Chains A and B, each alone.
Chain A
Amino acid sequence: MMLERFALRSRGLLAGVAMSALLAVPAFAVTPADTLVEGFAFDDIISMDPGEAFELSTAEVTGNTYDLLVRLDLSDTSKVKGDLAESWTISDDGLTYTFKLKPGMKFASGNPITAADVAYSFERAIKLDKSPAFIINQFGISGDNVTEKAKAVDDTTFQFVVDKAYAPSFVLNCLSATVASVVDSKLVKEHVAAVTPSADYKWDNDFGNAWLKTGYAGSGPYKLREWRANEVVVLERNDNYNGEKAKLARVIYRFMKESSAQRLALEAGDIDVARNLEPNDLDAIAKNGDLTTTSAPKGTVYYISLNQKNANLAKPEVRQAFKYLVDYDALGSTILKGIGEIHQSFLPKGDLGAIDDNPFKLDVAKAKELLAKAGLPNGFSVTMDVRSKQPETGMAESIQQTLGQAGIKLEIIPGDGKQTLTKYRARNHDIYIGQWGQDYFDPNSNAQTFASNPDNSDAAKIKTLAWRNAWDIPDLTKQTEAALLEKDSAKRADMYKDLQKKILDTSPFVVIHQQLEVAGLRKNLKGFALGPSFDTNFVGAVSKE
C-alpha cells in the first residue's frame, strides 16, 4: 500500500518535472547572424511579377530583387541615376531616348544582361497590360508598336521612343517605376504558358506571367527564394549582383499582422525589425534601451474630399470652410504622432516642385463666416465614409468634433476598406477620408489625379480623384497637361507649385498629412534605412554587429 502510494506520487512528481522541463527552458531568442528577420504585414501581395505587381509590399521585394535602367537618386529624389544604364542621351526632338548598358553584367541565373532583356521586359509589361502598365503605355506605347518603340539596337544599346516631347524628368522618373524592372528573358521564356488569343488578349502566350507570380528572374542585390502568402517571404543574396554585394546572406519577412505581436517579438529578439507599429507600441520601443526606431516620409498623402454632387459641398465657400475646420495641430501631436507629418499640398515632399507651406489652421470663426456667406449660417448635415481602421477613424472623429463647432453635423459611416472604396469609386459618398500613394515618383502622378479631370460624365474613361468627387476643372486639366511637356526642370517645378496653390485654395480636397513609414529595430542592426518610396526600402546595406 505504502509502496503503491509512493509509486503514484513519484509518478506525479516525474510528470511534473517533465512538464516544467518542457515549458521552463528560456527561449534563446536571437536571429541568425547572417539573416535579417522582419515582422511585416504583407497581406497585400498578390503577385511577384514586376510587370503585374502594383502593391506596396511587393514594391519593396521588387526593389531589392530586380534592377532598372535608371533608379531614383536617393540623395536628390527629384532626379534619377543610372542603374543598369551607364549613360543615356535624348534626341533633339525629345522623342528618342537611347540607353547604353554597363558592360559584363549578369542576372542571378548567370545569364548575361543585354538590351534584348530590357526590350523583352517592356514588351511583356505592355502586352500583359496589368495595373501598372499605364506608367509605360502613357508614352503612346501599345501592344502593337512596343517592339518598334522599345527595342534593342545592339547588345548594350536600348532605344525608347515616346510620342510627344515630354519633359525628360517625367519620362525618366516613370522608367524608375518597378513595372520597368528588367527580367531575365532567357529564363522567363523557359516558363511561358500558351494562351488562346481572344478579343481582350491578342497574344498567344502569357510571357511567363503565371510562373513569375511566384517565380523570380531578376538581377538585384537579393534574389527571391520563396513567397508563401501570409507566411513568409525569403530573399537570398545574389552573388552575381553587379553592384555592391548585399552584406547579409538572407532576408526573411515573417508575416505578422498585429502591431502588439510585432513589438513583443522585437523585444524578445525573435525579429530584428518590426514594420507595422501603431503609435503606442512605437512609443514603448523608443523607450527600450535595446531598440530604436526609424522613419521616412512616403509619397502617400491623407485627405478628405467633398463630393461636388452634394449641393452644399459644391459651394466654393463651403469647400474653403472645411479647410479651416480641421485641427491640424492636435491631429499632428496625437493620433498622427510618429506616423504622419502635417502636409497640406497634394505633392508629397521629395517630389519635384513640392511645396511645404501649410497655410491652414483650425479657425472656427473664419469658417463660420464662410458658411454664412454660402447661405448656411446654421450649418448642415452630411455623412463621411470611413474605413474602420486607424488613423482614419481617429481623424474622422476629430474632424467630426471640429465641424460640429461650426454647426456642421457629421455622421460617420464606418465600413471595411474595400467597401468604402467601392462606394467612393461610384461617386456615391458625401465626404470620403482616404489616402493616395503616388504611382511613380514624379509630380505628374499626383497632379494627374488631384488636378485633372478630362471628362466629368458618369461614363468617363479616365476616372481621377477629381472625377470621383465630380469636380469639373477644364482649365486645371490643361495646365496639368502643359506641365508634362515642359523640358526645363526648373520651369516645370514652378508650374507644379502654381497648381498646388490653386488646389489648396479652391479644391474639394483637404489634404491633411503625409504618411511617415516607421520601423522599430534592434540596435545591433547597422545600415537599416527606409527609403522615400516603398520600392526604395533597400536591405542590401544592412548588417549586424
Chain B
Amino acid sequence: MSIVENQAVAGRGSARAVAILSALGSFLVIAVTTYLGLLAVTFFIGRVIPIDPVLAVLGDRAPTAVVERTRREMGLDLPLIEQFYIYVKSALRGDFGTSVLTTNPVMSDIRRVFPATIELATLGTIIGAVIGVPLGVLAAVRRGSLVDQIVRIIGLIGYSVPIFWLGLLGLVLFYAKLQWVAFPARLDVVYEYTFTPITGFYLLDAAMQGQWDVFYDAYRHIILPASLLGYFALAYISRMTRSFMLNEMAQEYIVAARAKGLSETRIIWGHALRNAAVPMVTVIALSYASLLEGSVLTETVFSWPGIGLYITNSLQNADMNAVLGGTIIIGSVFIAINLLSDLLYRLLDPRTKVE
C-alpha cells in the first residue's frame, strides 16, 4: 500500500468521525434546547392556568391560615423567576418533587405507572404493525380493487371514530355479552395476594415467575385495550404502507425485476416492501411513541393505571409536579425513540450508509 493511499484512508476515517461527531453534536443541541423549551413551557403553563395549586393540596375546606402557610411552604410566594430557577435546578437533578395526589416522589410514581403504558403500547404497536403492514401492501398491490376499498374504510373508521366510544362498545360486546375478555383493570382481584410484580410488565413478570394463570389473566385484561390501540395504529400504518408501496411499485427497478421474470410475490415482498420498509420504520416508531404518551381515553375506559391517566388526573387536580415530571419523561422517551428510528433508518437504508 502506498503512502498516498494510506493518507486517503486516514482522511476518510477522520471525515467519518467528524460526520458522526457533528451528527451527535447537533443532536445534543436539539435535545438540550428541546428540554429547556419543554421545561419553560410546562412551568409557565403550570403557573398561568387559573387554578390555585394550594387548592389541589388542601381541598376546598381548609381554613385560611393553613392555606397561607402551605402557600409559603410550596414557595408560591416567591417571584416567578426565582420559582423557575428552583424548578429547573431540581429538575436537572432528576428531582421533580412530590406528587400532591399520591404523596410519592414523582419519579417513583412514574416508575410505577409507565410500565403499564409501555406494556399496552408495545402490544398495541405489534398488533398494528403485524396486521397493518400486510393490509397496506395488499391495498397498494390491488389498488382500486374491493380489497383497497375495504382497507380504506377500515382506516377511515380508525381515524374518525372516537376511541372512547369504541372502547365502551368493545367492553359491552367482548366483556359484557361474550365474556371473551376480562373486566377493566390489569388483573383480577384474586391475584392481589398471590402475585408480586417485579418489572411492572405484568405479562413478563408472570412469565418470569412461571405463574401461567396470572399470565393468562393479565392477557385477558390487556388484549382488548391493546387491540383497540392496535386498531388505531393499524389505521395509520396501513395507509402509510399503501402510499410507500405505491411509490416503490412505480420505480424502474420494479419494471426491471418484472422484465427479469421474477415472480410477483418475490417482487412485492422481496423488493418493493424491502425498500418501503425504510420509511416504515419511522412511521411505526412514531406511532409507537404516540401510544407511549399514554392514550388517556383508553386508560380511562379500561381503568388502566398508566401514565396518560396519571398525568390527566394530576392536571385536573393542578398537581403540577406530577404533570411536569410526566411531561419531561414522555418528552425524553419521544426524543429517544426518534433518535433510535433515525439510527435504524440509517442502518436499513443502503444510501445513508457511510461507505
Residues of A near any B CB (own CB < 8 A): 22-27, 29, 31-32, 35, 37, 43-44, 46-47, 54-55, 129-134, 200, 213-214, 228-232, 234, 252, 254-258, 260-261, 264-265, 267-268, 270-271, 416-419, 421-423, 425, 437, 439, 460-463
A134 near B60 (CB under 8 angstroms)? no
Bound Cα distance A43, B104 (Å): 15
B82 within 8 A of A: no
B160 within 8 A of A: no
B133 within 8 A of A: no
Interface segment, B48-56, B147-155, B252-260, B278-286?
Answer: B48-56
Bound Cα distance A255, B185 (Å): 9
B316 near A232 (CB under 8 angstroms)? no
Q: Which residue of A lies closest to B60 (CB)?
A: A421
Q: Chain B 177-199 against A: per-residue CB contact (8 Å), 1 yes, 0 no?
A: 01111111100111010000000
In the complex, 10 of the A-B residue pairs with CB atoms within 8 angstroms, ordered by the A residue number, are A27-B175, A27-B182, A29-B179, A32-B189, A46-B57, A47-B103, A131-B58, A254-B185, A254-B303, A422-B52
Q: Considering only CB atoms and an 8 Å cut-off, how many residues of chain B contact the other chain?
A: 57
A419 near B303 (CB under 8 angstroms)? no
Bound Cα distance A25, B185 (Å): 18
Query: Nearest chain A CB to B321's CB is how many angstroms away?
Result: 13
Interface segment, B1-9, B24-32, B33-41, B66-74?
Answer: B66-74
B305 within 8 A of A: yes
A418 near B55 (CB under 8 angstroms)? yes
Query: Nearest chain A CB to B61's CB is how many angstroms away?
Result: 6
B64 near A230 (CB under 8 angstroms)? no
Which of the residues A229, A264, A419 comes within 8 Å of B102, measured between beta carbons?
Answer: A229
Known: A200-B72, A214-B103. 13 other contacts (CB 8 A): A32-B189, A44-B59, A46-B100, A131-B66, A213-B103, A258-B301, A260-B171, A268-B175, A270-B182, A270-B188, A422-B50, A423-B50, A425-B60
- Residues facing A in B80-115 (CB within 8 A) are 100-104, 109, 112
Our count of residue pairs bridging A and B at CB distance below 8 angstroms stands at 143
B309 within 8 A of A: yes
B65 within 8 A of A: yes
A230 near B183 (CB under 8 angstroms)? no
Chain B residues near A22 (CB, 8 Å)?
219
A230 near B313 (CB under 8 angstroms)? yes
Chain A residues near B50 (CB, 8 Å)?
419, 422-423
A252 near B189 (CB under 8 angstroms)? yes
Which of the residues B49, B192, B223 comes within 8 Å of A419, measured between beta carbons?
Answer: B49
Residues of B near any A CB (own CB < 8 A): 49-52, 55-66, 69, 72-73, 100-104, 109, 112, 168, 171-172, 175-176, 178-185, 188-190, 192, 219-220, 223, 300-303, 305, 309-310, 313, 316-318
Chain B residues near A460 (CB, 8 Å)?
64
Query: Nearest chain A CB to B193's CB is how many angstroms away?
Result: 9
Query: Nearest chain A CB to B317's CB is how many angstroms away?
Result: 7
Chain B residues near A130 (CB, 8 Å)?
66
A422 near B305 (CB under 8 angstroms)? no
Q: Which residue of B lies closest to A23 (CB)?
A: B180
Chain A residues near B66 (CB, 8 Å)?
129-131, 133-134
Given known A229-B102, A254-B303, A422-B52, contact A31–B189 (CB-CB < 8 A)? yes
Bound Cα distance A231, B172 (Å): 22
Chain A residues near B172 (CB, 8 Å)?
264
Bound Cα distance A271, B303 (Å): 14
A264 near B183 (CB under 8 angstroms)? yes
Bound Cα distance A265, B168 (Å): 12
Bound Cα distance A130, B69 (Å): 10
B305 near A231 (CB under 8 angstroms)? yes
Bound Cα distance A460, B64 (Å): 9
B313 near A43 (CB under 8 angstroms)? yes
B189 near A35 (CB under 8 angstroms)? yes
Chain A residues near B51 (CB, 8 Å)?
416, 418-419, 422
B301 near A261 (CB under 8 angstroms)? yes
Given known A231-B305, A252-B189, A419-B50, contact A462–B56 (CB-CB < 8 A)? no
Bound Cα distance A143, B45 (Å): 38
Given known A200-B72, A257-B300, A257-B303, contact A134–B63 (CB-CB < 8 A)? yes
Chain A residues near B318 (CB, 8 Å)?
418
Which of the residues B171, B176, B305 comes within 8 Å of A230, measured between beta carbons?
Answer: B305
A268 near B64 (CB under 8 angstroms)? no
A254 near B189 (CB under 8 angstroms)? yes
Which of the residues A129, A256, A264, A418 comes within 8 Å of B317, measured between beta carbons?
Answer: A418
Query: Nearest chain A CB to B50's CB is how many angstroms away?
Result: 5
Instruction: Return the 9 tightest CB-CB contacts between A and B, nearest first.
Output: A229-B102, A131-B62, A270-B183, A26-B179, A418-B51, A422-B52, A27-B179, A213-B103, A265-B183
Bound Cα distance A528, B62 (Å): 32
Chain A residues near B58 (CB, 8 Å)?
54, 131
Bound Cα distance A210, B223 (Å): 38
